[in-house]
Amino acid sequence: MSIFIGKTAKIIASLERSGEPVTANITMVETTGHGTLAWKTQVTGNVTVNNEEVDVINNIVNQSQCVLAVTPSSVVGIYAIDTNGHPVGSNLVIMLTTHGRTIDLNVQLATGTKLLATYTKGGSVENYLLGVSLGMAQVIVSANVGLEKGLSQTVEVAVETKSVPDTPSPPNPSSASFSVSGPGVLQWYRSGYWYDNGWASVPYSGSIEVWYLSLGQWGVVCNSDPIVSDSVQINARGLTCSVFHKLASYPGVAPTFGIGSNPGTITITLDYTWHNRATARYETATISKDVIINPG
């Protein structure tokens, strides 16, 4: 068990004889100075145990069960665990059985399945240890129950300091890196046919199938500084392809390029201007990106 300095750990101590709670005074003493306790001596009574992790057992045919740490006075609920470690779903308890610490479940589950149990128990006390300094706190828990030497047990709690994350250095605009935003793989369908510097919706002699492509879907972003990304202006977009045709006019879309046949991969090239905050100047550059083409 561990806690951070300034945080608390709950310590629960219980006494029982033959499964029955025992009324007695319990004393707790921290011996190292790494922590302080809320109280020193208290008489046992009822306490609530919240979300104790238990395992499913299947020692009886067609009856799943789980075993609590101590015999409960009453069971509030036993639940499945969600991905965040919290109880989830409906209560899995049939009823408080006569098996002592062993509780019958109302559903058949695999052996070893983790569940969370909340219950009350008598003969118990609840104390809180506050972490004061870095080190291993030791709490001696003892009870005078009429035995010659009484009962005693030592609980150790590691008191830790939270690690302070390194403060990230501000981005260096003079060494800003850029990348092309936009798809790396495209699939689109035939737009029409190209022939004699013209476009048609039906094939003519000598025409080729064409897929249209708008270059406006690609841009440039600064990987290291979003403020620089906001300053980027695209000056020109280009396309390199083994089978390439520029459509001078295509209804409703500009600029538009046509790809004939199946080129496999095309290269998108962008000329851009960006504001260098280190020099307070605007600079121009060119960047490109390969795009896989899958005509439909």
pLDDT digits (tens, 9 = 90+) for 30-78: 999 999 999 999 999 888 888 899 999 999 999 999 998 888 888 888 9
Phi, psi torsion values for 203, nearest 5 degrees: -75, 145
CA–CA distance, 204 with 228 (Å, rounded to integer) = 49
Contact 63, 109 (CB under 8 A): no
Mean per-residue pLDDT for 244-248?
50
Q: What is the arithmetic mean of pLDDT over 180-189?
A: 74
> Rounded to the nearest 5°, which phi and psi values hold at 91?
-65, 130
Global pTM exceeds 0.75: no
pLDDT for position 171: 47
pLDDT value of position 136: 93
pLDDT at 48: 86
Residue 210 predicted with pLDDT over 80: no
What would the two tokens of residue 97 be? 């059985």
Average pLDDT over all residues of the chain: 79
Q: Indicate whether 242 pLDDT > 70.
A: no
Q: Which of 31-35, 115-119, 247-251, 285-289 has the lowest mean pLDDT?
A: 247-251
- Mean of the pLDDT values across residues 277-296? 80
Q: Where are the domains of the chain?
A: 2-160, 176-293
